[in-house]
Structure 1
Amino acid sequence: MKNTIYLLFLIGFVLVSCQDFLSEKPSLGLVVPSNLNDFEAILNNDHQIFNHTPAIGEIASGDYFIPLQHWQSLRLEWERQAYIWAEDVNQNGELPDWSRPFEQVFYANIVLDGLSDLEISSSEQERADKLKGTALFFRAFAYHQLLELFTPYTRFDGEDSDFGLPLRRSSNVTPNSDRAKVSEVKAFIKSDLSSAVELLPEIEPLKTLPSKQSARALLMRVHFMEGNYNAALELGQVIHANGLSLIDYTQLPLTTANPFGIFNDEVIFHSQLMLYEFYSSPLTFVDLNLLSLYGDNDTRKEVFFIDRGNGGLNFKAFHTGRQFWFGGIGTNEVLLMYIECLIRSGDLNTAEELMNSFLELRIRDFDGISFTGQQQALELVLSERRKELLFRGLRWMDLKRLNYEGLETTLVRDFGEITHTLSPNSQSYVFQIPPHEIDRSDMIQNPR
């Protein structure tokens, strides 16, 4: 992958236990990063630090179902509890979906603090700017994931919430952590991304690192998920004008175990979901209601799913090109956000044209579709979004967004004699912060 040698980490730049990242500053051991090479090595560490996306929302989102006996056998307590939306999903007070993003924030801040202390020569300025933009992007990406999992949903023009996140602006971590308001967290993310757009290169050969397009795409997602469709539309217009490459699924070899290669044309920014037994098991099956959305000529049904003879279909098509599930940003996500924003703005003609061009690459013998009105067009794009962007960490975000807007979905786990239900806009859409973080800080726990 990257040509980075993890020298810093092998000789003393030690990754410390996850649970201490809010309460203590991890030890830097024998090596203190002090130059551009050091900072570049930190940011290129996609294996241990960056390019890992929380996955607990995917377990809770409802696109998979698991038989009771297999659910009981899951090794990790938080996987079992997240699946049934239990009050406490933390095992022994720990939760990687909280601690890993804060690791990423910490190491991004190491780079940002270090760059601010360096005297940068004119010949090094471009490289330093790229490193700063990369660190800002990684910090924003981590905070956006935390925002979607651990804070209540708020629209950009709606009521604020005090149940935000502790904001880490530097690597000098203090023991006590207050929660900023949700609006402050969003402003922090948007500020980082706006700065990153200015600093990053237009093209980045390594998709594990961000470019201007990745930063714009993430900023578009942030606006989109909070219902600010006009702001997302403006970014979508810029990104679309710069080009969005799509794969023709009708030409893919359907018998291949995984038809997508690593860093394929639809990957804007590469990240992988944290590896959990739940969604990687052949005994966890794709939801039947989701499968029913695909028509007979829809090649995605053959590209995405496989029947291993275990009682249901499994997902096989990972945009990572490997066995790890994709948790990054894709061109197909950006295009569908753009189409939805066009529909919501009333530009049905452009939206229809883009949707037809997209579906030609997904459906054999495609005859074309017509939008007869805004509501019908919106229903169609939401259906395509559901069928296209599955199992990459986005469904949980969509459920919170659409439930708030009135397109409500009730999730059900049927274990025979026992049924678990998640109602729209329930407090259980917000995961609890690990208890040890509450105990060591001034934060108030999320109600659940």
Structure 2
Amino acid sequence: MKIHIYSRLIPMLLLAFLLSSCKKYLDIEPKGVQLLKTVHDYDQWLNSYEATTDLPESINLLADNTDLTNVDLPLDQVNERVFTWQAQFAEDQFAGEAVIWKDFYREIYYYNTVINKIDEAIDGTVAQKRSLKAEALLGRAYAYLYLVNLYGEPFAQAAAASDLAVPFVTSHDLNNATPPRKSVKEIYEFILGDLTAAIPDLPADNAKNRFRGSKAAGYAVLARTYQYMGNYIKAAESAQLALAVGPKAIMDFTTMTSAQQIGDLTVRPDVFYARVSRAYNQDKVPTIDFLKSFDKTDLRLKFYYSNLRDYSFPTRGVVKYRSQGVLGGTATISWGPTVAEMELIIAESAARANDIPTALDHLDALRKKRFPSDSYQKYISANQQEVLQKIMQERSFEFPYNGMRWIDMRRLNAEGKMPAVTRLDKNNNVIATLPPGDPRYTLQIPIQVMVFNPSWTQNP
């Protein structure tokens, strides 16, 4: 029996479910891509829930700043297995879900549909169609940037051509054969190709809806891509281009009394490309070590972390991170790039080039917006490694639970700078350890996918 491409990549996902959002935006019964006739149809397809707010929250469970306080052996919940870095997050190869993996390939299906079919729209101008295709290329590149940084080794020039990553799917045809796993180098080349092709045709501005693409968003994702590749010169150049054609100002917490004043992510002025996870509004539990690493005057603590009390943090699980702000509202942190991220990319790139003054200035551009002005002091150091460490720490404060910390941990681990990370059960006993250099920094392909693709080589 022939098994179509997305069944091989997204087990347990029926086509009816994959296309279930059609009814939401076209207000008719879903019948697949045949419903997409006009440019407006394709435009709304890119507004769908699955294309904008479907990133896997589970990525945050891998990171060293996340805690689960009720874990007990045996590990029978998917979240517990992710949290403790088990080789497989769901053990049943036929009934289990391909955790994390499936979410990205579901998104890629939506983007490939636009890329491959938009030219067949019965109306609209050539420019409109090229613009929508460019947005889909941007979205696809963004999804693959996560996939290569989860299922492939961190980019290393000498090994990238031989290190295996993920299959690069460009088809929306459910009956096409599943391509083989590509190398890390090839996936990055595809990502760079998509972004380079997209940028000229992306809209000049997305201020009315940050979930849609723009030229600045394209440059910002390009900056993140080069950073993850270790090409810090091009990362800084791309970040500067994003700032030149898009938002430039960091949201200033010193002028606010709470996160309620930050505003809706859809139109937030410091966001290049808004993305969130499916469970973005769920509380997260920070580790006590992470909480204690904050300066007590940091306004990010005040705005996003509940039950701070006297800042001594004696008990696990008391403090919660609330992504919409402690007092509620629309202050959700974007998983996509922001002005703050571009400033930190430029700072890191300068620090790695030993241009310490430039690094400190760009670090300061963010930090002075995160501490009360009457007590703020600029961070000063002449030591390159100390400055780099401070920049990485600042990234953890600014982007704590938006899928970025795990990738930063992988980068640090590849440089021999990541300490061992431990997990505790509900009784504070160590039940898992992730030592430096551990192969689990690269996730295994889910067995629910491997069973349909037995010729693939599994990650260690």
Q: TM-score, normalised by structure 1?
A: 0.85
Matched, 1:171 2:181: no
Task: Map residues 10-89 of structure 1 onto 2, 5 A cutoff.
Answer: 10-13=28-31, 28=32, 31-45=34-48, 47-67=49-69, 70-72=70-72, 77-89=77-89
Q: Residues 44-443 of structure 1: matches in 2 within 5 Å?
A: 44-45=47-48, 47-67=49-69, 70-72=70-72, 77-90=77-90, 92-117=95-120, 124-156=125-157, 158-173=159-174, 174-204=176-206, 205-242=208-245, 243-254=247-258, 260-263=263-266, 264-275=268-279, 280-281=282-283, 285-307=285-307, 311-318=317-324, 322=330, 326-364=334-372, 365-415=375-425, 416-443=428-455
Residue matched to 1:21: none
Helix, strand or coil at the partner of 1:412: strand
Residue by residue over 1:170-197, the C-alpha shift from the partner in whole angstroms, topping out at 9 and shown as x without a partner, is: 2134244311111111111111011111
Q: Distance in 2 between matches of 1:76 and 1:253?
A: 42
Against the structure 1 CA distance between its residues 322 and 437, is the aligned structure 2 distance closer, same or farther, given a 3 Å change threshold? same
Identity %: 21
Q: What CA distance in whole angstroms lies between the structure 2 residues aligned with 1:39 and 1:435?
A: 34
Counterpart of 1:134 in 2: which secondary structure?
helix
- Please say if residues 89 and 432 of structure 1, whose CA atoms lie closer than 8 Å, have aligned partners that are also in contact: no
- Give, in angstroms, the shift of residue 160 of structure 1: 3.3
Deviations 1:98-118 (A, max 9, x none): 112112211211111113456
- Cα–Cα, structure 1 residues 48 and 5, in superposed 2: closer, same or farther, change >3 Å? same
**Deviation string for 1:311-366 (max 9, x for gaps)?**
52111244895496642222211211111112212322222222223222112221
| Secondary structure in 2 matching 1:371 | coil
Q: Which residue of 2 aligns with 1:16?
A: none
Cα separation, 2, equivalents of 1:321 and 1:133: 32
CA distance in 2, matches of 1:144, 1:185: 8
Per the TM alignment, residue 75 of structure 1 is displaced from its structure 2 partner at its CA by 11
Secondary structure at the aligned position of 1:95 is classed as coil
1:446 to 1:322, Cα distance in 2 relative to 1, 3 A: farther
Alpha-carbon shift at residue 77 of structure 1 (Å): 2.6
The CA deviation at 1:198 is 1.1
Distance (whole Å) between structure 1 residues aligned to residue 103 and residue 181 of structure 2: 18
Structure 2: how far apart are the matches of 1:388 and 1:400? Answer: 18
Separation of aligned partners in 2, 1:48 and 1:369? 41
- RMSD of the TM alignment (CA)? 2.9
1:253 Cα shift?
1.7
The answer (yes or no) to whether the contact 1:432–1:445 under 8 Å persists in 2 is no
Q: Deviations over 1:357-389 (max 9, x none)?
A: 322211222132323132232122122112111
Q: For residue 446 of structure 1, what is the aligned residue in structure 2? A: 458
Distance 1:335 1:76, change over 3 A: farther
1:9-31 CA-partner distances (Å, limit 9, x unpaired): 74224xxxxxxxxxxxxxx27x3
Change (3 A) 1:262 1:74: farther
Question: 1:24-81 CA deviation, whole Å, 9 max, x = no partner?
Answer: xxxx27x342332222121121x233332222221011212122xx235999832110
Structure 1: which 5+ runs fail to align? Answer: 14-27
Are the equivalent residues in 1 in contact too, given 2:346–2:362 (CA < 8 A)? no
Q: Alpha-carbon deviations, 1:263-291, whole Å to 9, x = none?
A: 32232211112328xx935xx63112211
